[in-house]
Structure 1
Amino acid sequence: MCSQLPTRHAMMPKHIYPLQPSTSSASAPPTRMVLALALAALCLLAPGTRGRALAEELPGHNFLGGDYYHFPIDEPLWDGATPFEYCSQYCTLDPRCRAVTLVAAGVQSEFPMCWLKDGNYVVQENPATDSWLKPVYASYRQRDYPGGDFRSIEFLDPAQDPHAGAMQCRRECERDSRCLAFTFVAPGFQSRGGVCWLKDRVGGETYAPGCYSGLVYERQTFSDPDWLPATDPQDAAGSTPPESSLRDVNLPGLDYANFALTTYDPALCLAACEDDPNCRAYTYVAPGQQGRHARCWLKYGVPAQVRNAHTVSGVVR
């Protein structure tokens, strides 16, 4: 529910905040070797068609807190890759990961330090850090989902950064089992502080200045392929019916095998998945994207869909 007032919201003042090490008692950390082998093969994500996501990349910002694993980037990267790309794509491969912060070399280590996060972080400006938010947890700028409001929460800080406000609003939504979507209205549009609207149904979306909206994807069922499906690889079979060919769709992550194809036909990748009882889904990558030839990725789970004009994917079982 967005309606603009004539006042302008204040921006967060610039400060530098110290980074804090992880204090969470995480379970076993990700298997770094397995994930690292798959990093170079991730497909480039094409921009979404429903508005620009908020905070997919936040240069000069630190996500403070929510850490469950961290490591120095002290090994050679594939051609042209940056430590920030390595860190963010490492997160893409780990279903637990929601966001990352990369700390510049010389601050915490002689190497860049990658911090993986699963939630409960706050956004703070820091020129020694760059952060990235996994797209399924991003919000969309200047978007509102009209109707369905069952609760509103006013945030009191008039200088709250919209990135931080949208993340806080998402956390409020996730805490309430009724909540399917949310809209955060930036400070100065409906009140002195920001306002978080929790929604129990989702209709269409509208352009709305000052609004940042998002979905709790784990609680959604989608018929429109532009929306992302549920992401839990164990439960995905119940929420993602088999579809053997999804054009312009990438299923990043959960890979257990990959191989080059000298015959450029997605049906060959589909057949390989169908012939392997361990394979639940696949992604075919067009030639020239990950080397000279096409490449087929076989997956033990069903990751979230993202749009990519250079891929064909399918859910087999």
Structure 2
Amino acid sequence: MTSFSRTVCGAFACWLLLLVISSSAAFAQTGFDRPGGDFTSFPIASGDPAQCAARCDREGRCRSWSFVYPNPGAATGVCWLKRRVPRRVQSACCVTGVKGSGVVEPQLPNIEYGIDRMGGDLRSFDVEAHEHGETCANVCKAENGCRAWTYARPGYGSASARCYLKNRVTAPRRKPCCISGVVR
């Protein structure tokens, strides 16, 4: 192999590595914010971060976006459109992405983001707000008769986060308010 061939192969390998790294950051990130670079903000009554991502896609000057989940003091979520792509920082308040990224929820075992399992309630109670709903999942695992759970984020119908334990596994429904899981 000539030195030119090695150089071309090395450059191609570097380019491929950068492509893989950058493509993983192209998806919206739940649990992150991008402070700064805002040119407008507006409420999203449905509380669905996918509407924020879609609005950025339609707006010519938008390069990135952040969606702030509803909180107890506000009945709606807020979408922030940005003229640049600020560095992302970890924050449970938000979902953020770059133009064209859409919303792809994290893929964790036994956790269903943006899913509500309505019905089959065994009991419900207020819980501390948590990014992945672990408290709700752990209580369900420890309780006999609990087969599934749904964690409702604060600001979606209640000022506090709420855990719903289920005595049966019901059909999953897409709802941005919730995180669910099946235990048994």
TM-score by length of 2: 0.40
TM-score by length of 1: 0.24
Q: Point out the structure with the larger helix share.
A: 2
